[in-house]
Structures are given as structure tokens and as C-alpha cells.
Amino acid sequence: MGKILVVATGNPGKLQEMQAYLTGENWELQLKPDELEIAETGTTFAENACLKASQIAKATENWAISDDSGLEVAALNGAPGIYSARYGKDDRSRISRLLTELGDTPNRQAQFVCAIAIARPSGEIALQSVGICQGEILYHPQGTGGFGYDPVFYVPTYQKTFAQMPKKVKHEISHRGKAFQALLPQLHDLD
Ligand code: ITT
């Protein structure tokens, strides 16, 4: 067994996807203690990812990995962006607010962004990466897979929303997939 890596998220959808990327790596994954909540006071995804990884690492005295992500919608000038989790009280109300704010705007262009950070037990950031996936916001939710905004995020190349595509396709092409593809090769070199 390798070193312990605390997965610093309280979002079950994210946790499941992060675990899938880290399976087979030489790290023993551990869940973040429930009571450890980190205030996301940064102004960028990368800053918030670093804050979460660093503070969870220090608090647990272990290595920690965090993901800060969200949806940027062109017609809303990049909103909800880093406030994607705070846009509503649950996934359903977040989606409904997004569709209301967009109305019948013809510009449906959007992107998901994911910043990943890995911190040493000291809190020092060891690795960082960012991944982006382009798509469009539908007028109505489609599909039941995934989590969060997945039912309204449509990827034209696949003619499916993230919630309609097989898990392994989202795993491959998503913002999180791209961030992990950049990060994983470097994960082996950490000491
Ligand atoms: P942690 O900070 O505990 O990890 P969180 O849900 O608060 O959990 P964020 O602040 O990073 O995480 O917010 C991410 C938001 O963006 C949240 O509302 C997600 O539903 C949404 N999101 C991120 N990745 C997504 C994905 O792959 N599919 C759908 N929605 C996603």
C-alpha cells in the first residue's frame, strides 16, 4: 500500500469520479472527515482548489487532493462560475435557476472547468492542473446519469448530455478527465 491521500470533497458525485481516476494508483484513498469544511474564499477555481487541498492536508496531516469546478456560461458572462455550488440549494434548483436566467437566449455556449490540487501533509501544494470541456446548455434537462448540471450540459460531438453518455465517456472527455489526464503522470513522481 502506498501513502494515504485524503480526497477533500463533500460532493458525492465528485467523490465517485475522483475515486475512479485514482483507482490503480499507488495511493491509499481516504475520505475527508465530514466535519472539516473549508471556506472557499478564492477568486479562481485554482485558488479554491489549492485552499481546500492545503487546509485538509494540514488538518489531517496527510496528503490531500481537491477539485474545484463549475460551469461558465457565455451569455451569463461566465456565471455561475466559481459560485456554481452556491447557485441554488440542490441540483434541481441550480438547474432551474440556470434555465430561467438563460431564458430563450440563442447563445447556449458554456464550458465546465475543473481545477485539481494536491497538497503535501505540510500544506504545501505539490501539483496542480486545470481541465476544460466545451458544450451547450439545453432548454430542458435530458438524461439521468452523472450529477450536478450534467442533464443540461450537451456535448455536440457526442450528441448527448453528460447525463446521457456512458460513464466511461464522461470520464474520458470531461473537464475533470482532462485535469486528471494532465496530473496523473506526475502523481507517480511525488515523494
Ligand atoms: P467540495 O467543495 O466539497 O468538493 P462542492 O460541490 O461545493 O464540493 P465546488 O465548490 O467545486 O464543489 O462546486 C462545484 C459545482 O459545480 C457543483 O454545483 C457541481 O454540481 C458543479 N459541477 C462540477 N463538476 C460537475 C460535473 O462534472 N457535472 C455536473 N456538475 C458539476
Pocket test for ligand 1, best of 84, 86, 153, 169 (most atoms within 8 A of CB): 84
Pocket test for ligand 1, best of 7, 9, 14, 18 (most atoms within 8 A of CB): 14
* Residue-level pLDDT at 2: 75
* Residue-level pLDDT at 179: 98
Burial of 112 per CB tally in 10 Å (0-12, 13-18, 19+): buried
In this structure, the dihedral spanned by the alpha carbons of residues 120, 18, 78 and 127, taken in order and rounded to 10 degrees, is: 30
The C-alpha atoms of residue 77 and residue 98 are separated, in whole angstroms, by 13
Q: 175-187 vs 12-22: helix axis angle to the nearest 10?
A: 40
- DSSP states along 104-136: T-S--EEEEEEEEEEE-TTS-EEEEEEEEEEEE
- The structure's pTM equals 0.97
Low-confidence ranges of the chain (pLDDT < 50): none
Q: State in Å: Cα 114 to ligand 1 middle.
A: 9
* Residue-level pLDDT at 1: 61
Catalytic residue of the set 68, 90, 91, 191: 68
Q: State in Å: Cα 69 to ligand 1 middle.
A: 5
* Residue-level pLDDT at 191: 74
Beta-strand ranges (E) seen in 32-182 are 63-73, 109-119, 125-137, 153-155, 160-161
CATH of span 3-187 = 3.90.950.10
